[in-house]
């Protein structure tokens, strides 16, 4: 007989989420992932000046705000195209890269390491979530030292964002036409100095730390795979051509990698709300026409996250997808493969950031004026830290008439659709071993491998929030 286990909330993730699993014969046979918040920001955006959107959308999340600012700026550029100066494009890349570095380092050391490393016997690390700590004492001590170093080093990345954006999180510097801060020499040197520090830390400490975890937890490469379908919108657009990106847009379906043509995706995705707390729509709805009308308590629903689909398929997105599509990591799709890809990507992005600082052209333009169109539609795509991010905007009479966002965690944490297909994370949990039902650490490690950001997926919580608990029944 299957045993049901509720983990509520799942801790060390951004935002509030829970997971209900069914366990039989020592492994997960079914799963339902719940994002227990409601995002109402799309309604708040309506009626506002479109130029506010790169700032307002950053308030979706404090972990990855620059990604939202850039996606929003891209949507406005699509609505009214202009040529962005070289410096303006590169400065946005540099702020986005720095935001990535902050997030990846913070995620690895502070949200992931405590799953595998025995932390000090002090609050908040005790009581330990598991007895399954396998690192030798000296290796464990080394990772603890690097954990403490990470507290300081990730601040360098925040400083890099603020160097050109004024502050971090929620930078002021992102515009459709470029960046508001000119590349003064002292700022460029400051940015590059911090980028080189991060390159050294990632190369000599972060990657070896991940390799140590992989060495002593090899079985974690054997579960957590899911469907194997992945996509990426690409990252760091180098010209007016949407396909010209450092990380190429692409899709992996049934083991085959193909290009993803962003020019055909203005209306190319559907969202299903069969199992989400929203009012049903007449059919699978394209994002720009999607509505956000709540129906809490709807029969059969269990989350505030909608179910986006690509050609009817649930799709995983994130660092593993980016490196797989780029052809730089194809070891496998599993719990630890996601973590390994994230760490390897961190070094690659840090190296790009340091190089870009030498390519800026002081004295040349860094921003171009962008005018609000009277009537327009735009779609902006970028890969955020956790994967593919899309912003859709309709403008009428110079104001925002409709704004919709589909975040990476909306893809990864999506519920079942009307056809009964589980979301990517739910499917990845199928077959995960559960050694101790009272504390299913293997399930939590797999969830953490996606780096969920429920604050992005949904936005408002009632005063009666969930209490920490493991419930078995």
Tens of pLDDT, residue by residue over 332-365, are: 999 999 999 999 999 999 999 999 999 999 999 9
Long-range contacts of 322-330 (CB under 8 A, 24+ apart): 322/232, 322/235, 322/247, 322/383, 322/387, 324/230, 324/252, 324/257, 325/230, 325/232, 325/247, 325/248, 325/249, 325/250, 325/251, 325/252, 325/257, 326/247, 326/248, 326/250, 327/257
Instruction: For residue range 173-195, list pLDDT tens digits in order.
Output: 899 999 999 999 999 999 999 99
Q: pLDDT class for 458, splitting at 50, 70, 90?
A: low
Lowest mean pLDDT among 6-20, 140-154, 215-229, 392-406: 6-20
CB 67 within 8 A of CB 389: yes
Reported pTM = 0.92
The domains of the chain, with CATH numbers, are 3-472 (1.10.645.10)
b/e code 193-229 from CB counts within 10 Å (16+ = b): ebbbbbbebbeebbbbbbebbbeebeebbebbbbbbb
Share of the chain above pLDDT 70, in %: 93
């Amino acid at each position: 007989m299957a045993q049901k286990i509720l983990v509520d909330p799942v801790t060390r993730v951004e935002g509030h989420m829970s997971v209900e699993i069914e366990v039989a014969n020592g492994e997960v046979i079914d799963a339902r992932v719940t994002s227990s918040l409601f995002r109402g920001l799309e309604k708040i955006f309506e009626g506002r000046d479109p130029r506010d959107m790169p700032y307002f959308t950053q308030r979706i999340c404090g972990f990855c705000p620059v990604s939202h600012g850039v996606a929003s700026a891209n949507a406005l550029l699509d609505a009214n195209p202009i040529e962005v100066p070289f410096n303006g494009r590169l400065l946005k890349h540099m702020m986005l890269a720095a935001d990535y570095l902050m997030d990846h380092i913070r995620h690895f050391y502070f949200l992931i390491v405590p799953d595998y490393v025995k932390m000090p016997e002090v609050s908040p690390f005790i009581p330990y979530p598991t007895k399954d700590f396998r690192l030798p004492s000296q290796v464990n001590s080394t990772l603890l030292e690097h954990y403490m170093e990470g507290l300081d080093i990730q601040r360098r990345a925040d400083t890099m964002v603020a160097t050109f954006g004024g502050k971090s999180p929620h930078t002021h510097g992102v515009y459709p036409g470029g960046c508001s801060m000119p590349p003064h020499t002292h700022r460029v040197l400051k940015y590059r100095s911090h980028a080189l520090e991060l390159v050294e830390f990632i190369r000599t400490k972060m990657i070896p730390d991940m390799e140590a975890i992989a060495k002593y937890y090899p079985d974690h490469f054997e579960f957590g795979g899911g469907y194997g379908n992945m996509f990426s919108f690409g990252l760091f657009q180098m010209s007016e051509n949407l396909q010209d990106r450092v990380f190429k847009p692409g899709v992996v379906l049934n083991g085959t990698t193909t290009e993803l043509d962003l020019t055909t995706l203005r209306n190319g995705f559907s969202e299903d709300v069969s199992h989400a707390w929203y009012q049903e729509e007449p059919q699978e709805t394209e994002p720009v026409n999607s509505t956000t009308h709540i129906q809490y308590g709807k029969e059969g629903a269990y989350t505030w996250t909608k179910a986006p689909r690509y050609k009817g398929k649930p799709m995983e997105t994130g660092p593993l997808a980016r490196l797989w599509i780029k052809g730089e990591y194809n070891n496998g799709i599993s719990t630890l493969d996601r973590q390994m890809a994230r760490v390897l990507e961190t070094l690659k992005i840090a190296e790009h950031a340091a190089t870009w600082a030498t390519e800026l052209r002081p004295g040349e333009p860094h921003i171009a004026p962008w005018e609000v169109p009277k009537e327009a539609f735009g779609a902006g795509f970028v890969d955020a830290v956790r994967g593919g991010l899309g912003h859709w905007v309709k403008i009428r009479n110079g104001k925002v008439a409709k704004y919709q966002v589909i975040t990476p965690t909306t893809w990864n944490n999506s519920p079942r659709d009307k056809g009964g297909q589980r979301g990517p994370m739910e499917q990845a949990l199928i077959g995960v071993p559960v050694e101790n039902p009272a504390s299913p650490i293997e399930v939590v490690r797999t969830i953490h491998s996606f780096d969920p950001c429920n604050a992005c997926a949904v936005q408002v919580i009632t005063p009666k929030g969930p209490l920490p608990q493991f419930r078995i029944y």
